[in-house]
Homo-oligomer: A and B are copies of this chain.
């Protein structure tokens, strides 16, 4: 099946540069339906350096206007983007399904999450305290010199480049979390679309462009650049007008972007979320009490979305013994009983085949099931289980490679002490999970303490797939999970990535931003002379 005729009338294959269509390059590519391996009918163009420059130049000009916009106006814009996405209707779901094979139920849910997070940021802006206003009032009589009045708040960084992900064509893509939080911060966004779903990306560009226009924002607030060449992204990162990068994807691609950004004359922050193997530690009591249910949960999590989640549990750490053997038997049986799903594209299939092959080539690794591409009409890979020992795991960094698909590996430990030593050897992770019963609590405490140093999110008796979009969410973690462990790409605090503090010293009231005015017209929470308060400041 190719992208349907109905859809084609809406698709141009062009970039959306500050509201204008552009297609300067004759180098084109198409998306491919992963279920049929058939190419889509629409040719998409690789963005040229000139087009990238046009987009960034327009974003820079837009930023000069919008950085004076009140938060409430940004909030209205976010709401409008959400409404325009909904107005795209089912064609969005159908297009994305054809380009990703993720299925309509999953995509319907993901659309709700995407519009939901846009609206959640709108709420955050209307509440207003996210600017972290802090005021220290003057002490005119202080000796030996008076203390000035100093007031600090967060302001936007400037134009942001966003690299969208293949595996979440809505929630981590053109209008996904990076774009939503950058818009919320007051930053124009230039998206480099993922080449796996260019048609879906174009539809989102149409929606955002509509919202920009209807809300009276400058056109440079948003641009979409298509491309399946590495150079497109590199040129975007290297453009001096870009002030920060959001990225979700592979370690290799994320690191290349990080390196390019660090090598600029003006280095810029790269918030790259690069995946993870998301260890699950099952303590002996849990293994004994509910091995079969745990197997069911694990298999559901490993195979969810054909295993194509950043939070896919790729590692299961157990103390060896009869319970462990029985558990592994359950997992094996249940994995084999499930039919493998469709993978997103050929690149994912090939990458998965290569990484698993490399891991299986280690003498320490035992293949339990799977390990092969399924040569069919669609991109597909066998449900795969690998096994190794704790000592081998500790001494071989290759065993910490992410296998992006329905693959997990058991690490059999000799004892609880050995388990702890093995946890200590883990690289940085997005998540880490403990399964435990009451009888395991004593053993769990040091495990939790060790895992805290390794991961951004710690789970108890759950599975890491499924990232709630809530204020408290931390979707991040130490390298190589991300390049910026101090930040998150999901949840309300994601906005902080695109803000920086500015202090105003003795600036007259009339020139202060509303957030810092003495009367507190926004009614936000502020820290005044070391106390949290929503009160107005009355100076003597």
User: Are A123 and B530 in touch, CB under 8 angstroms?
Assistant: yes
Most buried by B among A127, A134, A476: A134
In the bound complex, what is the Cα–Cα distance between A497 and B487 (angstroms)? Answer: 11
Q: Is A378 an interface residue (CB 8 A)?
A: no
Contacting residues, chain B, for A504 (C-beta < 8 A): 457-458, 460
A192 close to chain B: CB less than 8 A: no
| Copies of this subunit | 2
Contact A505 B456 (CB under 8 A): no
Q: Chain B contacts of A511 at CB under 8 A?
A: 441, 444-445, 448, 460
Is there a chain B Cβ closer than 8 Å to A523's Cβ? no
Select A134's contact among B68, B109, B461, B471, beta carbons within 8 Å.
Answer: B471
Q: Which of A44-52, A142-150, A168-176 contacts B (4 or more CB under 8 A)?
A: A142-150
Contact indicator B474/A532 (Cβ below 8 Å): no
Task: Assess A458 versus B503: contact at CB under 8 Å? Given A485-B157, A486-B269, A508-B441.
Answer: yes
Q: Does A59 contact B (CB under 8 A)?
A: no
Q: In chain A between 479 and 506, which residues have their CB closer than 8 angstroms to a CB of chain B?
A: 479-480, 483-488, 491, 493, 496-497, 499-506
- A400 → chain B, closest Cβ, in Å? 13
| Distance A404 CA – B210 CA, assembled complex (angstroms) | 51
Among A279-287, A339-347, A462-470, the stretch that binds chain B is A462-470
Q: Are B134 and A472 in contact (CB under 8 A)?
A: yes
Contact between B505 and A462, CB atoms less than 8 A apart? yes
Residues of B within 8 A of A109 (CB): 144
Known A-B contacts A441-B511, A486-B269, A486-B500; A506 and B471 likewise in contact (beta carbons under 8 Å):
no
A267: CB under 8 A from chain B?
yes
Nearest CB of chain B from residue A277's CB, rounded to whole Å: 16
Query: Contact partner of A499 among B152, B486, B527, CB < 8 A?
Result: B486
Looking at the assembled complex, report how far the CB atom of A136 sits from the nearest CB atom of chain B, in whole angstroms: 4
Shortest C-beta distance, A294 to chain B (Å), equals: 15
In the complex, the answer to whether A473 meets B150 with C-beta atoms within 8 Å is: yes
Question: How far, in whole Å, are A459 and B148 apart by their CA atoms in the complex?
Answer: 10
Q: Which of the 9-residue segments A226-234, A258-266, A323-331, A360-368 touches chain B? A: A258-266
Q: Which residues between 425 and 472 of chain A lie within 8 Å of chain B, taking CB atoms?
A: 428, 441, 444-445, 448-449, 452-453, 455-462, 466, 468, 470-472
Q: Which residue of chain B has its CB nearest to the CB of A459?
A: B505
- Closest Cβ of chain B to A167, distance in Å, is 19
By beta carbon, the residue of chain B nearest A510 is B441
Chain B nearest CB, measured from A475 CB (Å): 8
Question: Cβ of A111: which chain B residues have Cβ within 8 Å of it?
Answer: none
Which residue of B144, B266, B496 is within 8 Å of A480 (Cβ)?
B266
A151, B269: Cα distance in complex, Å: 26
User: Is A313's CB within 8 Å of the partner chain B?
Assistant: no
A246 interfacial contact with B, CB 8 Å? no
Q: In the assembly, what is the distance between CA of A455 and CA of B263, in Å?
A: 22
Question: Is A155 located at the chain interface by the 8 A CB criterion?
Answer: yes
A135: which of B472, B476, B478, B497 is its contact (CB, 8 Å)?
Answer: B472
**Residue A241, interface by CB 8 Å:** no
Interface membership of A34, Cβ < 8 A: no
Q: Determine whether A165 belongs to the interface, using a CB cutoff of 8 Å to chain B.
A: no
Instruction: Using A474-B503, A506-B459 as known contacts, say yes or no to A262 and B258 having CB atoms under 8 A apart.
Output: yes
**A470 / chain B contacts, CB cutoff of 8 Å:** 136, 147, 150
A374 contacts chain B at the CB level, 8 A cutoff: no
Across the interface, A460 reaches (CB within 8 A) one of B263, B472, B506, namely B506
- Interface status of A12 (Cβ within 8 A of chain B): no
Please state if B267 and A479 are interface contacts (CB–CB under 8 Å).
Answer: yes
With known contacts A480-B266, A500-B485, A511-B445, A152–B473 Cβ distance under 8 A? yes
Tell me if A129 counts as interface (CB < 8 A to partner B): yes
Contacts of A155 in B (CB 8 A): 452
Across the interface, which residues of B come within 8 angstroms of A484, CB to CB? Answer: 269
Measured in the bound complex, the distance between the Cα atoms of B149 and A462 in whole Å is 11
User: What residues of chain B lie closer than 8 Å to A461, measured between beta carbons?
Assistant: 506
Q: Is A317 an interface residue (CB 8 A)?
A: no
- Asked whether A333 is an interface residue with its Cβ less than 8 Å from the other chain, the reply is no
13 contacts between A and B (CB under 8 A): A67-B452, A68-B449, A123-B530, A152-B473, A158-B453, A262-B267, A266-B479, A452-B502, A457-B503, A458-B507, A471-B530, A474-B503, A486-B499
Question: Which residues of chain A have a CB within 8 Å of any CB of chain B?
Answer: 67-68, 109, 123, 127, 129, 132, 134-136, 144-145, 147-148, 150-152, 155, 157-158, 258-259, 262-263, 266-267, 269, 428, 441, 444-445, 448-449, 452-453, 455-462, 466, 468, 470-474, 476, 478-480, 483-488, 491, 493, 496-497, 499-508, 510-511, 525, 527, 530, 532
19 further A-B contacts with Cβ under 8 Å, apart from A444-B511, A472-B527, are: A123-B530, A129-B532, A134-B472, A134-B493, A150-B470, A262-B263, A266-B478, A266-B479, A448-B511, A457-B504, A458-B502, A458-B504, A459-B506, A459-B507, A460-B508, A462-B506, A478-B500, A486-B497, A487-B501
